[in-house]
């Protein structure tokens, strides 16, 4: 029993820890788990008797030690260590490789997405060593002492602690998983490990009752426990003096691999009355491929239109920790004043530059900014016309024949102060688009950005205000494109993002929106900086990390000023976090439970009667209760099987018919899996979403579904195997929780009662 409980704990911890890699080596993990269980069994099979001679006990200990060495070597090989490097003569090469991998481990963003072999080996080493150490602690014979001795109990608790450490490491640095499901499973395994096989008779039933009560209470309380904020901010710990280092950012857009740090290390904290985006600089020039900062200094530009609104002034205090920069983070609006200890320079585009040695950890300053917060009605009332000095924010360059996003550094070198070139086009006058001049329109249409120009003009057609155009473009990007940091490099990055890849991160979304707004004659620019960060209630400040680095769009509205818009969709399709609990009764309950964790002193156990009558009676009662539970479970399974058979036939008929039921099921299932669908969605859009997140195998089912519904004759065949493959591809990367939700949303057969309440109109419309 204990060996089985150990196997379950090891498998759960290893499965969760393997999630620290985006592509875990499943076979290696299974082999390591099997080796750990084999080690526990081997320790048990080499017993030692209290009456054995000293020589026999030494031989048995030597045999166990040899088995431990052999199995540890096997576990290291299973983790990926080349067997030749296990020889003592090669340990120096092994140490060099492991040290090389640790350099990447110390700076990586979890879960690990790279392919470096030494880094992946360093990640798997705890998985190879911790379960074996736990097996040795738990199953190494006690030298003649009974299994209930205090020493043996301490060793079992230490073994459990090692496995829990491995599990917690996986929880911290992996994605997905269900707190409730995994917590209940972990609770059951811990109980089995600590108390089996010592339970007898009625104590088995009592243990099951208490286990169920504890699991039910935990499942109820977990809905109110904070999920969006950490209880212990381990990322802010600086145990080894790493706070002396700092992180720098390059803000010009590249659209390739993300050029900034993706660690969770804190860059700075902000005390502000409201969460804002913290701007570092603005990118005002499109050089044919990307948005960059031009460094121009127009004397007639006025960022603050009169009359000013006194309610739109605000203050924020910044405390620098890990950021290294010559530019100061400020509010998302226009900076009016900064009380910094070194000389600073205010740029017309809202950038504040430090003229000394740059920002360092420990610097602090307060910013007064003018941050417009207009209502939608005020934005719609803003006139389309604007001061002529803002025409430069409608200009953009067409690419030269030698420009390419595949080698940005080698093309179009930027000279400070340069904005207009021979390739620059834009609106000829305020409130007009480049289409007003046929020569400019023809040049844009003939350029690589012709499709983007036509899309921008189509989205702007029929709108009544500048604000309506901005909303149309922003909503179009959010609804039709997906967030991904693995976007490929292209010659024309923004054009490929819109019409080929359809995935990207904040640079693609902000760059595409700003460029399309300029194609419609609307002043727009890209703002670069950071997201609001995480609110720390203890310090009443926002903690901003390198992971919060972001780019968004600023649009100029006459009489209001620059207003921010964020066209980038959320980074994850997982369901939103539960809100923080606010019920005081729940807080009191949690505090009461925490206060009684220690509990009263244990009560001495009474001896069972010699005759065993009461024990036998209790055992019979337990068996009767278990048989009753089993009977109810069997009946429920039979009813579920009947439902499944009916639904199985219904789904098969739909797949071979008009596929209407299968379409309705798919559109209803995707939101249950955490995917956001537009209010009116087509099967082509669903296919694209599924292709991005599940790959071509998953998208094939949707494509065949679309062909079945709309192709002439509907001859495309559909099978339940394609449907199972769709479910597996969509849920496999998201953890156990997503797999269970996938089985509920797309069960092995469609249950009629689950789709009976939906109207046919909820299905995807159009091909």
**Tens-digit pLDDT profile for residues 269-314:** 999 988 889 999 999 889 888 898 886 555 445 556 667 788 888 8
Give the pLDDT of residue 584.
39
Q: Which range has the top average pLDDT, 196-205, 528-537, 633-642? A: 528-537
Average the pLDDT over 3-8 and give the result. Answer: 89
Find, among 445, 423, 416, 419, the residue nearest to 353 by Cα: 416
Average the pLDDT over 37-65 and give the result. Answer: 78
Strands 266-271 and 334-338: unpaired
Determine the longest span between alpha carbons in the chain, in angstroms. 106
Give the pLDDT of residue 508.
93
Average the pLDDT over 486-514 and give the result. Answer: 91
Q: Is the pLDDT of residue 696 over 60?
A: yes
Buried/exposed code over 153-185 (b: 16+ C-beta within 10 A; e: otherwise): eebbeebbebbeebbebbeebbebbbbeebebb
Asked if 663 and 764 count as a contact pair (C-beta separation under 8 A), the reply is: yes
Q: 95: buried, middle or exposed (CB in 10 Å: 19+, 13-18, 0-12)?
A: exposed
719-759 pLDDT, tens digit each: 777 888 888 888 777 666 677 777 777 777 654 444 444 43
CA dihedral 577, 581, 582, 586 (to 10 degrees): 170
Give 512's pLDDT tier (boundaries 50, 70, 90): very high
Q: Is the pLDDT of residue 395 over 80?
A: yes
Find, among 327, 101, 361, 358, the residue nearest to 242 by Cα: 361
Percentage of residues of the chain with pLDDT beyond 90: 19
450-490 pLDDT, tens digit each: 999 999 999 999 888 999 999 999 999 998 998 888 788 88
Give the pLDDT of residue 444.
93
Give the pLDDT of residue 707.
80
For the chain, the average pLDDT equals: 77
- Tally of CA atoms within 13 A in the half-sphere of 417 that contains its CB: 3
Find, among 447, 416, 417, the residue nearest to 434 by Cα: 447
Q: Is the pLDDT of residue 106 over 80?
A: no
C-alpha 726/C-alpha 703 separation (Å) is: 11
Helix H or strand E segment including 551: strand 549-557
C-alpha R_g of the chain: 32
Q: Is the pLDDT of residue 620 over 70?
A: no
- Tally of CA atoms within 13 A in the half-sphere of 167 that contains its CB: 22
Q: 679: buried, middle or exposed (CB in 10 Å: 19+, 13-18, 0-12)?
A: exposed
C-alpha 332/C-alpha 527 separation (Å) is: 8
Place of tokens 């939101």: 671
Average the pLDDT over 154-162 and give the result. Answer: 87
Asked if 302 and 387 count as a contact pair (C-beta separation under 8 A), the reply is: yes
Q: 84: buried, middle or exposed (CB in 10 Å: 19+, 13-18, 0-12)?
A: exposed
Q: Which residue pairs from 695-703 have beta carbons closer than 8 angstroms and sit at least 24 positions apart in sequence? A: 695/729, 697/725, 697/726, 697/729, 698/725, 698/726, 698/729, 698/730, 700/725, 701/725, 701/726, 702/666, 702/726
Neighbours of 685 (CB within 10 A): 17
Neighbours of 463 (CB within 10 A): 14
Q: Is the pLDDT of residue 676 over 80?
A: no
322-338 pLDDT, tens digit each: 888 889 999 888 888 88
- Concatenating the DSSP letter of every residue in 499-537 gives III-EE-HHHHHHHHHHHHHHTT--EEEEEEE---EEET
Asked if 374 and 557 count as a contact pair (C-beta separation under 8 A), the reply is: yes
Give the pLDDT of residue 42.
86
C-alpha 472/C-alpha 474 separation (Å) is: 6
Give 225's pLDDT tier (boundaries 50, 70, 90): low
Higher per-residue pLDDT: 202 or 392: 392
From residue 473, alpha-carbon distances to 67, 181, 457, 492, 524 in Å are 66, 41, 10, 20, 12
C-alpha 315/C-alpha 317 separation (Å) is: 7
Average the pLDDT over 651-666 and give the result. Answer: 75
From residue 130, alpha-carbon distances to 67, 169, 379 in Å are 16, 12, 60
571-619 pLDDT, tens digit each: 643 333 333 333 333 334 334 433 433 333 333 333 333 344 333 444 4
- Concatenating the DSSP letter of every residue in 558-610 gives TTTEEEEE--PPPS--SPPPPPPP--HHHHHHHHHHHHTSS-SPPPPPPPPPS
Residue 354 sits at the vertex; the CA angle it makes with 349 and 357, to the nearest 5 degrees, is 150
Higher per-residue pLDDT: 180 or 584: 180
Q: What is residue 433's DSSP assignment?
A: -
Asked if 440 and 398 count as a contact pair (C-beta separation under 8 A), the reply is: no
C-alpha 141/C-alpha 658 separation (Å) is: 67
Structure token digits, residue 410? 């080698």
Place of tokens 């490097």: 85
Structure token digits, residue 185? 């499973």
């Amino acid at each position: 029993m204990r060996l089985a409980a150990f196997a379950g704990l090891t498998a759960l911890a290893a499965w969760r820890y393997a999630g620290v890699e985006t592509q875990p080596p499943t076979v290696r993990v299974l082999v390591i788990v099997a080796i750990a269980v084999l080690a526990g069994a081997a320790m048990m099979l080499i017993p030692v008797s209290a009456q054995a001679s000293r020589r026999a006990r030494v031989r048995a200990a030597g045999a166990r030690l040899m088995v431990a060495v052999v199995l540890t070597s096997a576990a290291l090989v299973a983790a990926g260590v080349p067997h030749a490097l296990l020889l003592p003569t090669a340990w120096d090469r092994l140490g060099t490789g492991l040290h090389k991998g640790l350099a990447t481990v110390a700076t990586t963003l979890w879960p690990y997405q790279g392919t470096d072999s030494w880094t992946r080996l360093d990640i798997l080493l705890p998985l190879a060593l911790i379960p074996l150490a736990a097996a040795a602690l738990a199953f190494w014979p006690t030298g003649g002492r009974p299994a209930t001795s205090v020493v043996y109990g301490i060793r079992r608790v230490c073994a459990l602690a090692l496995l829990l450490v491995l599990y917690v490491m996986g929880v911290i640095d992996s994605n997905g998983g269900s707190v409730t499901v995994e917590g209940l499973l972990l609770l059951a395994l811990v109980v089995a490990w600590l108390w089996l096989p010592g339970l007898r008779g009625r104590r088995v039933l009592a243990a099951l009752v208490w286990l169920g009560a504890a699991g039910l209470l935990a499942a109820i309380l977990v809905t109110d426990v904070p999920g969006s904020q950490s209880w212990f901010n381990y990322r802010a710990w600086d145990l080894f003096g790493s706070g002396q280092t700092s992180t720098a950012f390059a803000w010009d857009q590249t659209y390739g691999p993300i050029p900034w740090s993706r660690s969770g290390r804190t860059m700075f904290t902000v005390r502000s009355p409201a969460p804002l985006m913290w701007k570092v600089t603005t990118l005002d020039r499109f050089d044919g491929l990307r948005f960059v900062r031009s460094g121009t200094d127009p004397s007639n530009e006025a960022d603050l239109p009169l009359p000013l609104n006194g309610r739109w002034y605000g203050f924020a205090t910044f405390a620098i920790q890990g950021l290294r920069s010559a530019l100061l983070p400020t509010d998302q609006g226009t900076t009016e004043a900064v009380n910094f200890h070194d000389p600073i320079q205010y740029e017309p585009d809202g950038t504040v530059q430090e003229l000394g040695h740059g920002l360092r950890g420990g610097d602090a300053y307060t910013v007064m900014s003018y941050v417009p917060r207009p209502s939608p009605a005020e934005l719609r009332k803003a006139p389309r016309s604007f001061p002529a000095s803002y025409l430069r924010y409608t200009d953009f360059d067409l690419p030269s024949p030698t420009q390419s996003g595949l080698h940005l550094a080698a093309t179009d070198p930027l000279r400070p102060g340069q904005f207009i070139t021979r390739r620059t086009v834009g609106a000829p006058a305020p409130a007009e688009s480049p289409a007003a001049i046929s020569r400019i329109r023809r040049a844009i249409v003939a350029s690589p950005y012709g499709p983007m120009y036509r899309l921008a003009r189509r989205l702007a057609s029929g709108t009544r205000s500048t604000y309506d155009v901005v909303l149309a473009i922003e909503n179009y990007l959010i609804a039709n494109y997906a967030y991904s940091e693995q976007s490929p490099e292209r010659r024309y990055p923004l054009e490929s993002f819109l019409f080929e890849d359809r995935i990207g991160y904040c640079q693609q979304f902000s760059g595409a929106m700003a460029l399309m707004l300029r194609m419609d004659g609307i002043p727009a620019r890209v703002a670069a900086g950071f997201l609001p960060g995480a609110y720390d209630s203890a310090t009443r400040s926002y903690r901003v990390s390198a992971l919060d680095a972001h780019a968004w769009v600023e649009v100029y509205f006459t009489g209001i000023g620059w207003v921010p818009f964020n066209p980038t969709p959320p980074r994850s399709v997982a369901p939103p976090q539960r809100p923080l609990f606010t019920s005081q009764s729940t807080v009191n309950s949690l505090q009461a439970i925490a206060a009684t964790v220690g509990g009263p002193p244990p009560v001495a156990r009474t001896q069972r009667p010699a005759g065993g009558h009461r024990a036998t009676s209790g055992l019979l009662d337990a068996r009767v209760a278990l048989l009753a539970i089993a009977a109810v479970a069997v009946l429920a399974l039979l009813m579920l099987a009947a439902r499944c058979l009916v639904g199985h036939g219904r789904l098969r008929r739909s797949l071979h018919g008009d596929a209407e039921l299968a379409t309705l099921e798919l559109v209803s299932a995707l939101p249950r899996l955490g995917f956001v669908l537009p209010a009116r969605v087509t099967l082509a859009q669903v296919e694209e979403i599924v292709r991005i997140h599940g790959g071509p195998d998953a998208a094939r089912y949707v494509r065949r579904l679309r062909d079945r519904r709309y192709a002439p004759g509907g001859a495309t065949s559909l099978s339940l195997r394609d449907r199972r493959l769709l479910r597996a591809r969509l849920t496999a990367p998201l953890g156990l929780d997503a797999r269970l939700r996938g089985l509920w949303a797309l069960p092995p057969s469609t249950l009629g009662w689950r789709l009976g309440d939906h109207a046919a109109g909820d299905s995807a419309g159009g091909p």
